[in-house]
Amino acid sequence: MRGVSLLTYADRLAGDLPGLSRLLDDQLSAFDGVHVLPFFTPFDGDDTGFDPIDHTAVDPRLGSWSDIRGLADAREVTADLIVNHVSNRSAEFADWLERGAESPHDGMFLTYDRVFPHGASEADITAFYRPRPGLPFTPYRGADGRRRLVWTTFMPSQVDIDITHPAGVGYLERLADTLAAGGVGTVRLDAVGYAVKTPGTDSFMTPQTLEFVAQAAELIHARGMRVLVEVHAHHSQQQAIAPLVDLVYDFAFPPLLLHALASGRVDRIASWLGIRPSNAVTVLDTHDGIGVIDAGPSGDRPGLLSHDDMAAVFRGAHDATDGHSSVASVIPAWMTLPHQINASFFSVLGRDTRRMLLARALQTFLPGEPQFYYVGLLGGVDDTGLFARTGQGRDVNRHHYTRDEVLRALDTDVTRGQLALARLRRHPVFGGSFSWDAPDDASLVLRWRSGQHEAALRARVDEPDFEITLDGMPVDLLA
């Protein structure tokens, strides 16, 4: 797909799936694809849909599988396959607690003893990487009174699946069948980096994880769908995954861009442009905030940014949001910095329209498949009220838009300019060859050529500004 896709929740942008379809057919027709964030039952659980009770059912408050197929008739639809966990309120987990070894789902859920059949030391347990404070286990009691320690990598209500057990494999196969029948074109493997627990390692993006990614990709490809892997990790991990799947994320670019805008230098971006995977979904912001660890060091592996550089990026966000990003961002267990900034991208850029369009233009010109997040598209600022009500830091960048709010945003320069970039990306030139140059410390030039066509983006980060030309003629995004 050469054009731009939209990343959104159905309910938070348009109320439901039919409403989202109407928007994409009309005011947001510039998008060639849509990633609908979890629309399964329930879409509004403890983790906004990433804790499905029934991963095979569309929440009827949003619509039906017919609505998903309708979306897919006109554009590519991406949907999540949550491989690491399911809700503790799922029928499968409830049946296992009730019936134990007699349940057909016995073995589907990962227990402490499956990973440590001979027990574990303190060092073994604390070696595991977890994106939350604390340890990754929750005690559950079965109907027979037996207590089991179940792996809960994320939240106590999100029980991990044993993806090595036939019951776990069968569950994932059922989900893939359902997505394919629903018209989904691309499957995003959510939280796959945590799915394989390997004693003696931190169990995050290990060689065993890569083996599982390859197996999952084979399963999905067999059903005619593409595979996108979601993992926030050292940039070398994206390079390792990229040959195994259709798409990875370029999560390193956003923090590199924020560093460039703060320092007035493009050297770190230039280093990344020389080695980044070309089969990348490019982003600025997502429903999970703005990743930073993706550009930083990991253990003895140097990063594209140093630890001090990362700290400076967090300080810049802190200052731009009057300290709120620091309140909303979570520091994982055993870490000294958050792994993401919980704030809207527009807020972190000081609500500056020209800087936002510069950032979006650079993203749009990178090789890969650009994806715009609905809050960033609409020039959204931090929803501090929602965060105050829920206590979930990522909710600052997950605003519930009313129709009137959407219509007002569509009339702003920041949104009009981004939609113009999405339309520009459809030009055949972006199917050609890409080149780039850094003519000085503060400038980048990105070019695409195809036949007689050339598109160029000339950008400066010290006094942020940019110019786009198509076949030698200036492109005015706000015309």
The whole domain housing 99 covers: 91-160
Inside any domain, residue 436? no
**At 408, which CATH number?**
3.20.20.80
Inside any domain, residue 465? no
Which pLDDT value is given to residue 1?
64
CB-based contacts of 52, cutoff 8 Å, min separation 6 = 38, 40, 41, 42, 45, 82, 86, 87, 90
Q: Which one of 160, 182, 209 terminates a domain? A: 160
Shared-domain flag, residues 228 and 308: yes
**At 98, which CATH number?**
3.90.400.10
Over residues 72-83, mean pLDDT: 97
In terms of pTM, does the model score above 0.75?
A: yes
- Residues 427-468: pLDDT tens digits? 999 999 999 999 999 999 999 999 999 999 999 999 999 999
Shared-domain flag, residues 269 and 367: yes
Q: Give the side-chain half-sphere CA count within 13 A for 135.
A: 12
d(CA 154, CA 152): 6
Inside any domain, residue 443? no
> Angle between the 17-25 and 65-74 helix axes, to the nearest 10 degrees?
10
CB-based contacts of 157, cutoff 8 Å, min separation 6 = 45, 46, 47, 51, 87, 88, 89
d(CA 7, CA 152): 27
H/E stretch holding 408 reads helix 403-410
Shared-domain flag, residues 151 and 268: no
Shared-domain flag, residues 182 and 249: yes
pLDDT for residue 327 is more than 90 = no
Confidence class of residue 299 from pLDDT cuts 50, 70 and 90?
confident
Inside any domain, residue 461? no
Shared-domain flag, residues 198 and 255: yes
Which pLDDT value is given to residue 2?
73
Q: Among the options 230, 246, 285, 383, which is catalytic?
A: 230
Average pLDDT, the chain: 95
Inside any domain, residue 378? yes
**162 is annotated as an active-site residue:** no
- Residues 256-279: pLDDT tens digits? 999 999 999 999 999 999 999 999
- Residues 380-414: pLDDT tens digits? 999 999 999 999 999 999 999 999 999 999 999 99
Closest by CA to 410, choosing from 394, 397, 422, is 422
Inside any domain, residue 369? yes
pLDDT for residue 133 is more than 80 = no
Q: Which one of 129, 160, 191 terminates a domain? A: 160
Which pLDDT value is given to residue 339?
78
Shared-domain flag, residues 62 and 154: no
Neighbour count for residue 244 (Cβ, 10 Å): 17
Comparing 338-347, 358-367, 452-461, the range with the smallest average pLDDT is 338-347
* Cα-Cα end-to-end distance for the chain: 26
Shared-domain flag, residues 77 and 104: no
Residues in the chain: 479
pLDDT for residue 11 is more than 90 = yes
Shared-domain flag, residues 420 and 314: yes
Helices and strands in the chain, H and E counts: 19, 21
Total of domains in the chain: 2
Shared-domain flag, residues 303 and 418: yes
Strand 5-8 relative to strand 33-36, pairing:
parallel
Which pLDDT value is given to residue 135?
86
Q: Which one of 414, 431, 448 terminates a domain? A: 431
Shared-domain flag, residues 112 and 248: no
pLDDT for residue 333 is more than 70 = no
Residue 361, token pair as written in the block: 């233009």
Inside any domain, residue 180? yes
> Angle between the 413-424 and 403-410 helix axes, to the nearest 10 degrees?
70
Inside any domain, residue 473? no
Shared-domain flag, residues 283 and 360: yes
Shared-domain flag, residues 151 and 299: no
**294 is annotated as an active-site residue:** no
Q: Are 6 and 34 in contact (CB under 8 A)?
A: yes
Q: Among the options 11, 190, 294, 395, which is catalytic?
A: 190
